[in-house]
Structure formats: structure tokens, C-alpha cells
A and B are shown apart, each in its own frame.
Chain A
């Protein structure tokens, strides 16, 4: 009825190829952007920013990154926590070594360093496939976390072994440290999220993205038609780790502030990230956002219901949270193995016809 393409004429190739071909979709997208940039910063308070919105934005970048590797290039990685730690520690070293550096540049360089590390650990993917690769990437997870704990140069010899984000600003507004305001932090993350989502979308539908998907669908066939597996897999690892590194840097500098590497970037984080990608939808940009939102907000909601409303003791609430999250993961996979993004695709198809059956 309201969601249809009739009357929406495309006159140029550019119009035909745009990300949101339907007018309704386009408007919805612009509306979300306007609200996110124009309205939310005026209403955001510290609680919402720290508990829900900033983690959501940070995890969205990370799951975009993992989706590029897992969803588009078909290489499963369980080492994301380690790569996030690389981003965080690079950011820390840069912030303490060059105090005047703009935070945007800090974050981007951290991403670049992580990309290099990621490509190094991606090298075995040329020989190893499938589960063997997934388990092999765990080497990155354990080795990197151990390394950041072991060598005191990484944490500037601090007594506790933790790293602490000093106050740094972007264009005169503080975005890290204890005194940074919620709107400043939020806008800083939001700009990066929008930028990286835009880049991801355009990468994945261009030559590079198509070569990723060719490798994912059948590597031998892709090789025969001239896709270079070395270049393709390594770019996927590089771009993916870049995203994850940026997310790690933000996670440490903007969101947490203080980080103990084993706790903040342990194996649990790698699993959380892969859940986001799978539940959201492999090979879908929207899915990355849905997955991140789902797994950030749901524990929050559960905690609120169980601790505040029902008054359960905290240990029972924690165990129930495990049970419910595990159950929901299994349920999602049983009902729709291609993630929530697939449900949305099906819903859109139905909407186009609604209220008519054919």
C-alpha cells in the first residue's frame, strides 16, 4: 500500500544502483540520520550513553568488520577480541606518546595498526579453511592478550597493569576521560559509525566486495576466473581488522576508559561479536546493526527486569541471563538461520504486496 516501487521511476544508472532504491526506504534512512545527528545529542544523558547507545555504536563498527570477513569473504574468525585489544593498546600508546594528536587520527591509526596485525594472522587462511581456520584464529586471541599482559611497554609500566585513557579532545570538545560529556562522546562515535557503514556498503558492492563474495561462494571457481585469493583474503582480513581495531580503540577510549586486557578483550568478546554477526545476519550491513543492537540492549533489558522488577538475587539473575541468551541464540538459529536481517527482507517482500495476496 505505502511501501511499493510503482511510480518510482529510475532515469539514470546511478539512480538504479543506489543503496535504497525505494523512496520510502530512502526517506526512512534520511530520517534516522536527522534524528541521530539533530535530535539525540540534545536528549542523551550519561546513563543512556554509557549503558546503551555508545556500546551499541562501538559494537556496530566491530560487527561490520567481522561481517566483512565472515559474511562477505566467508572466513570465520574467533580472534576479534585480540584484534580489539590491538586497537585499544595502539590508541593508548598514541594518546600517551602524542598528546596533541586529534582523536580521529588516533582512532584511524589504531585501526591501521590492527589491520597490519590482522593481515599477519590472516596469512594462514591461504592454507587452512573452515573450522580449522576458526580455531587457528584463536591463536591470535590468546597470544595477543597474553602479550599485552606480559610486556610492560604496552601499558607504560603502570603498576596495576591496566591502561587508562587520558582526556583528549576533538576540535576543542573533550571526547575521552572522565570529564567528557555524553553528547560529545556520542557524536564522535556516531560520525565514525556512519562513515564506516557508508564505506562498508560501498566496498561490498564494488569490485573488492564482489571478489570477496566470489571467494566465499567457491574459492576454486573464483581463482579460475581470475580472482587472486592471496590479495582477496588478505584485503578482507585487513579491512575487517581495521574496523575491529577502530572499534577496540573506541571501546577503550570512549566507552570504558580503564581497561584490563584479559577482562575487556577476552574470548567472551570474540564470541559476543560473532553472535552479533550471526544473529543480525551474515553478509548484511543492516544485520550488523541489528545484531549489535540486539545483544547490547537485550542483556540490559533482562538485567532491568530480573533485578529491578522481580528482585532476584544477582547470582540467579546472572545465571538466568546465560540461560536466556543461549536460548535466544538457539531459537534465532532454528527459526531463521540467516539472521534477523533475513526476516526483515522477507517482511519487505510481503509489504510490497500488502494488502493483496499476489
Chain B
């Protein structure tokens, strides 16, 4: 095989892994959209907030330290203890459940029966609120996530860096300039976790009582109410689940690029994934993510290559910003409900 093709395959493989990371965010969207019809723009910010909370708890930061210091002129920073990762994760999940309850109690409850666009706007407001709140609470400096959990056999934390195994195994495929595929071990971990997450969620929604209630609510709010399912409880559960998914996405992305403001922008990466996969399908979120991830990496690889420049007279770069959207847009023109979305049937 020629090196050009091999590098192309490497780009595709990396795209595959990135795509799985996009799917992690898209999953949270699908969960909430299915159960409450709310298009939750705040999902990305929830990932940021949960990752910030996790790091904050682990390092024993005093919440709102900066604000307290500014108002009272004190200088508090740290409680002076460190919480083990596993306990911190459990505490963070608790915070996300509390958050879900608060959102239901103070926001969603008042917006029942409003038009979808109003609900969407409310979640953008929520995203703004959370973004500022998270930074106020835990400070806005870039943090690194330390996931070392000796109890679970992860003394080093999440695996990082290129996988030598894959690199060595594939190095002989190409010529002298080719050193084997470079694939981040973190991406592989993320892919495995995503698969576990999807299986767990599917099993949960198919075989547990709560899961059945969730599906009933997703099908028809009124019918679900009439058989005695409490909408408000279901919403709290769904938002908590989305919070947990956000935590997983936040940890993965945070381990990749540091916990910082730009984490909230992954929402924008997840939106085309959703369009492609359909807003209501969990497998759709995964497959959409993979298509987008592979597509944008391969497209970028092709249009920025020198042979493309020779043939076309120009090259392009940084196309990742818009490629996903344009792909999704073109795709939607032919299939308006996405790959796996529910068919939109209109009757007069």
C-alpha cells in the first residue's frame, strides 16, 4: 500500500475515535430529547460543569473561593484535603442529580406545554448561567484531570499517549517514511466506555421498570400521565442520566484537552451528529458520531494534501469547523428525519 493511502487510513481511524467522543455528548442530548422533547443546548456546559466539579472536589477546592475572597477580603483557597477519584466521582454524580432536580423544579416545571423553541431558548439561558456559575464556583483556570484509581486497577489514571502495540504492528505495512498508525490510547478507552454506556442505557431502558416508564413518556406524554407515570420524576431521572453521561464526556474530553471553557463548545460538535443520527435514536448518536468523525478527518486530510493542491489549484485547511454541518445539511435534504430518527408523518 502506498503511504498516502495508509496516512488516509490513519486519519480515518483517528476520526473514528474522535467520532465516538462526539457521540458521548450527543447521547445526553438524545436521552433528554426523547423523554421530554427538550432540545438541551446545555449538554456541553453540563459536561464542563461536571468535570470542573469533579476536579474541584478531588483537589479539595473551596467553592466560590474567588468570589468570597473578593467580597470579604479573605484568602481561602483550599480545604487542604484530597478526595480519592472514586469518591469524587460519586459525589459529582450526586451534584448532577441535585442539578437535575433543581432544573426540573425551577425551570422545566414552569415551561410545560410551551413551544419547543421556547424550551430550547431556556436551555441556552441555562447554558449561559451554568458557564458563569461553574467558573465562579471553581475558578476559570485550565485544570488537569487525575483519574488514578488503584482500587479499580488504574494506578496511573486514564491511559494516555500513542498505542505502541498498534504502532509496532502496523509499521511494516508502509515504506520507510511510515511508522505505523498513531492512535491515542485515551481515544480507545473512550470508545470502549462509549460502547459500555450505550449497552447499559439500552438494557436499562429495555428491561427495567423505570426504563419502560421512560420509553412511555418518550412515546406520549399524556398517555404516560394517564397510566400513572409521574412526568416530573421521569424528567429528574432523565436529566440525572444526562448529567452522568455529561460527566463521562467531561472526564474524557477533559483528559484529552484539559478542563477549560472550550469544553462547553463540544455541544457544537455534537449537533451535526444528532442531525445525522436523528434526535431520537441512541444507536443513531453513535453511528452519526462515527460518520462525522471519520468524514471530517478524511476530508481534511484530502483537501489539505499537496496532491490535492496540484490537481485542483488550491488547498483548504481547518475545514473541521464546518464540514460536519455541511455534510449533515446535505444529508438532511435527502432524509429529513436523520438516519434513525422517527419518521415525521404529517396529516391534515
The judgment on whether A and B are partners is: yes
Q: Interface on A for B, CB 8 Å cutoff? A: 70, 76, 124, 127-132, 134-136, 138-139, 142-143, 145-146, 149-150, 220-221, 224, 267, 271, 274-275, 278, 312-313, 315-316, 318-330, 333-334, 337
Docked CA distance A228–B136 (Å): 51
- B116 and A323 within 8 A (CB): no
A interface majority secondary structure: helix
Q: A135-B275, A142-B321, A316-B70 are in contact. Are A330 and B107 (CB under 8 A)?
A: yes
Query: 0/1 per residue, B111-148, Cβ < 8 Å to A?
Result: 10011111011101111111111011000100000000
Find chain B residues with CB under 8 A from A337 CB: 111, 114-115, 118
Given contacts A124-B333, A138-B271, contact A322 B322 (CB under 8 A): no
Give B contacts to A, CB under 8 Å.
Answer: 39, 66-67, 70, 107, 110-111, 114-118, 120-122, 124-133, 135-136, 140, 268, 271-272, 274-275, 279, 316-319, 321-322, 325-326, 328-329, 332-333, 336-338, 344, 346, 348
A318 to B132, CA, bound (A): 8
Closest CB-CB distance, B53 to chain A, in whole Å?
Answer: 16
> A139 near B268 (CB under 8 angstroms)?
no
**A76 and B117: CB pair below 8 A?**
yes
Taking A124-B329, A136-B275, A278-B121 as contacts, is the C-beta distance between A146 and B319 under 8 angstroms?
Answer: yes
CB distance from B292 to the nearest CB of A (A): 13
- Expressed in whole angstroms, the Cα–Cα distance for A302 and B271 within the complex equals 32
Q: Is the CB of B322 within 8 A of A146?
A: yes
> How long is the Cα–Cα vector from A15 to B219 in the complex, in angstroms?
51
Whether the pair A139, B328 counts as a contact (CB closer than 8 A) is yes
Query: Contact: A322 with B325, CB < 8 Å?
Result: no
Whether the Cβ atoms of B268 and A267 lie closer than 8 Å is yes
| Max chain B C-beta neighbours (<10 A), residue from A76, A143, A316 | A316
By beta carbon, the residue of chain A nearest B347 is: A220
C-alpha spacing A321/B132, complex, angstroms: 7
Partner of A322, one of B107, B116, B129, B316: B129
Identify A146's interface contact among B120, B136, B140, B318, CB under 8 A. Answer: B318
Task: Say yes or no: B127 contacts A326, CB within 8 Å.
Answer: yes
CB of A179 to closest CB in B, whole Å: 37
Given A139-B322, A150-B316, A316-B70, do A330 and B126 touch, yes or no (CB 8 Å)? yes
The residue on A at minimum CB distance from B139 is A315
A79 to chain B, nearest CB (A): 10
Measured CA separation A4–B129 after assembly (Å): 42
Contact (Cβ within 8 A) B121 A135 = no
Please tell me if the beta carbons of A135 and B328 are within 8 angstroms of each other in the complex.
yes
Instruction: Determine the chain A residues whose CB is within 8 A of the CB of B135 once the complex forms.
Output: 319, 322
How close is B24's CB to chain A, nearest CB, in angstroms? Answer: 18
Which residue of chain B has its CB nearest to the CB of A329?
A: B125
Given contacts A142-B321, A323-B133, 10 further A-B contacts (CB under 8 A): A128-B332, A135-B272, A138-B271, A139-B322, A313-B70, A318-B132, A322-B135, A325-B128, A327-B125, A330-B125
| Bound Cα distance A249, B125 (Å) | 28
In the bound complex, what is the Cα–Cα distance between A329 and B346 (angstroms)? 33
Q: Known contacts being A146-B318, A312-B70, A316-B70, is A275 close to B348, with CB within 8 Å?
A: no
Complex Cα–Cα for A127 and B328 (A): 13
In the complex, chain B residues whose CB is within 8 Å of the CB of A128: 332-333, 336
How far does the alpha carbon of A274 sit from the alpha carbon of B125 in the complex, in Å?
A: 11
Please, could you name 5 A-B residue pairs with CB atoms under 8 Å apart, sorted by A? Answer: A129-B344, A146-B319, A146-B322, A316-B66, A329-B124
Question: Smallest CB–CB gap between B39 and chain A, Å?
Answer: 5
Question: Across the interface, do A220 and B333 meet the contact criterion of CB distance under 8 Å?
Answer: no
**A278-B118, A316-B136, A333-B111 known; A132 vs B336 contact (CB < 8 Å):** yes
Question: Quick check: A326 and B275 within 8 Å, CB to CB?
Answer: no
A220/B111 in contact, CB under 8 A: no
Q: Which of B66, B322, B333, B348 contacts A142 (CB 8 A)?
A: B322
Give chain B nearest CB distance to A218 CB in angstroms: 8
Once bound together, how far apart are the Cα atoms of A127 and B348, in whole Å?
18
Q: Tell me, in angstroms, the Cα distance from A221 to B347 when the chains sit together.
A: 10
Q: Which residues of A contact B116 (CB under 8 A)?
A: 130-131
- Chain B residues in 8 Å Cβ range of A329: 121-122, 124-125, 128
Q: Which residues of B contact A143 (CB under 8 A)?
A: 322, 325-326
Q: How far is B274's CA from A337's CA once the two chains are assembled, in angstroms? A: 26
B275 and A323 contact, CB distance less than 8 A: no
Cβ-defined partner of A333 (8 Å) among B118, B136, B271, B322? B118
Q: Is the CB of B332 within 8 A of A127?
A: yes
Q: Tell me which residues across on chain A come within 8 A of B118, comparing CB atoms.
A: 278, 333, 337
Does B140 contact A220, Cβ atoms closer than 8 Å? no
Q: What is the CA–CA distance of A337 and B118 in the complex, to the nearest angstrom?
A: 7
Q: Which residues of B contact A323 (CB under 8 A)?
A: 128-129, 132-133, 136
Q: A333 near B121 (CB under 8 angstroms)?
A: yes
Whole-angstrom distance between the Cβ of A303 and the nearest chain B Cβ: 14
Q: Which chain B residues border A139 with CB–CB below 8 Å?
A: 322, 325-326, 328-329
Instruction: Give B136's nearest chain A residue, CB to CB.
Output: A319
Residues in A with CB closer than 8 Å to B136 are: 316, 319-320, 323
Q: Note all chain B residues with C-beta closer than 8 A to A318.
A: 132
Instruction: Tell me the bound Cα distance from A162 to B326 in angstroms.
Output: 25
The minimal Cβ–Cβ distance linking A229 to chain B, given in whole angstroms, is 13
Contacts of A136 in B (CB 8 A): 275, 325, 328-329, 332
CB-based contact B122/A146 at 8 Å: no
Give CA–CA (A44, B203) in the complex, Å: 66
Distance in Å from the Cβ of A113 to the closest Cβ of chain B?
20
Cβ contact of B111, chosen from A278, A322, A325, A334, cutoff 8 A: A334
Please measure, in the bound complex, the distance between the C-alpha atom of A138 and the C-alpha atom of B348, giving whole angstroms. Answer: 30
Residues of chain A with a CB closer than 8 A to B117's CB: 70, 76, 134, 278
| CB–CB B325/A224 < 8 A | no
Provide the bound-state CA to CA distance between A318 and B133, in Å: 11
Specify which of B126, B132, B346 is in contact with A320 (CB 8 Å cutoff): B132
CB distance from A175 to the nearest CB of B (A): 34
- Nearest chain A CB to B150 CB, angstrom units: 36
Q: Is the CB of A131 within 8 A of B128?
A: no
